[in-house]
Amino acid sequence: MISTLIRWSCALLCLIGMCGVIVYAQDTTVAAVPPQPINTGAQVIIRQDTLFTIYGALGPFSPAARAESIRQRLEIILTNNSLSPDSIRVQEVNGSINVLLDSLIIMAVTTEDALVADTTQVATAQHYADIMRTSLVDMRKAYNADSLLMNGGTTLGIVLLSLLLLWLMTKIFPKLYSRIEALDNRMPSLRFGSHTIVSGNRLNDFLILLLKGARLVLSLLIVYYGITTILSLFPWTKHWNVGPILKGILLAGLLTVATIVLYRGLHRLAHFLHSQLRRYKDTFIKPIRLKKAELLSSERIVELSQFSLRILRTFFDILFFYFYVTILFSLFDFTSTWAGTLFAYIRTPLEAVLLSFVKYLPNMFVIIVTCVVAYYLIKFTHWMFRQIENGSIEFPHFYPEWARPTYGIARLLIIVFFVIVIFPYLPGSSSPAFQNVSLFLGLLLSISSASAVANAIAGIVLTYMRPFRIGDRVKIADTVGDVVEKSILVTRVRTIKNVEITIPNAMVLNSHIINFSMSAQERGLILNTKITIGYDVAWRTVHELLISAAQATTGILADPKPFVLQTALNDFYVEYEINAYTNLPNAMAKIYSELHSNIQDKFNEGGVEIMSPHYSAMRDGNQTTIPQDYLPKSYEAPSFRLFGINVFGGKKTGPDYSAE
Return mean pLDDT, the chain: 78
Percentage of the residues of the chain whose pLDDT score is greater than 70:
80
Cα–Cα nearest to 252, from 76, 588, 15:
15
- Rounded Cα distance between 87 and 386, Å, is 112
**Which class is domain 525-618?**
alpha beta
pLDDT digits (tens, 9 = 90+) for 342-357: 777 777 887 888 888 8
393 phi, psi to nearest 5 deg: -120, 135
- Rounded distance, CA 610 to CA 626, Å? 9
**Measuring CA to CA, how many Å separate 175 from each of 123, 166, 222, 318?**
68, 15, 21, 36
In this prediction, residue 653 carries a pLDDT of 45
Distance CA 410, CA 460 (A): 12
| CB contact at 8 A, 582 and 556 | yes
372, burial (CB in 10 Å: exposed 0-12, middle 13-18, buried 19+): exposed
d(CA 494, CA 486): 12
| More reliable by pLDDT, 613 or 543 | 543
Q: Which amino acid is at 169?
A: M
Query: What is the C-alpha separation between 627 and 605, in angstroms, rounded?
Result: 9
Residue 285 gets which letter from DSSP? B
Instruction: Please report the pLDDT score of residue 620 as a whole number.
Output: 58
Beta-bridge partner residues of 227: none
3-state helix, strand, coil in the chain (%, to 5): 60, 15, 25
Return the DSSP state at 559: S
Q: pLDDT digits over 276-328, tens only?
A: 777 777 677 777 777 667 777 778 888 888 888 888 888 888 888 888 888 88
* Verdict on whether the full-model pTM lies above 0.75: no
CATH topology of domain 461-515: SH3 type barrels. (2.30.30)
Angle, alpha carbons 541-547-553 (nearest 5°): 140
Over residues 382-407, mean pLDDT: 83
Instruction: Answer yes or no: are the C-beta atoms of 309 and 273 closer than 8 Å.
Output: yes
Residue 184 pLDDT: 63
Higher-pLDDT residue of 632, 20: 632
Partners of residue 480 on adjacent β-strands: 475
| Residues 60-114 pLDDT 10s | 888 888 888 888 888 888 777 777 888 888 888 777 888 888 878 888 888 888 8
- The predicted pLDDT at position 29 comes to 40
CA distance 151 to 142: 10
pLDDT at position 407 over 70: yes
Residues 138-167 have a mean pLDDT of: 81
Tally of helices (H runs) and strands (E runs) in the chain: 16, 19
**What is the reported pLDDT for 423?**
82
The string of pLDDT tens digits covering residues 21-67 is 444 444 444 344 444 444 468 888 887 778 888 888 887 888 888 88
Q: What pLDDT is attached to residue 344?
A: 78
- Give the residues across from 490 on adjacent strands: 504
Please provide the size of the chain in residues: 660
Please write down the long-range contacts of 258-264, taking CB distance under 8 Å and 24 or more positions apart.
258/213, 259/5, 259/320, 259/324, 260/2, 260/5, 260/6, 260/209, 260/213, 261/209, 261/210, 261/213, 262/320, 263/1, 263/2, 263/5, 263/317, 263/320, 264/2, 264/206, 264/209
Q: What is the pLDDT of residues 232-264, one digit of tens each?
A: 777 666 666 666 666 777 777 778 877 887 887
What is the 3-class SS of 366-402, one letter each residue?
Answer: HHHHHHHHHHHHHHHHHHHHHHHHHCCCCECCECHHH
Mean pLDDT for 550-573 is: 91
**DSSP 3-state of 610:** coil
Instruction: Considering only residues 441 and 18, tell me which one the structure prediction assigns the higher pLDDT.
Output: 441
The residue ranges of every structural domain in the chain are 39-143, 373-456, 461-515, 525-618, 628-660
- Span 553-564, mean pLDDT? 92
Q: What pLDDT score was predicted for residue 22?
A: 42
565 pLDDT higher than 90: yes
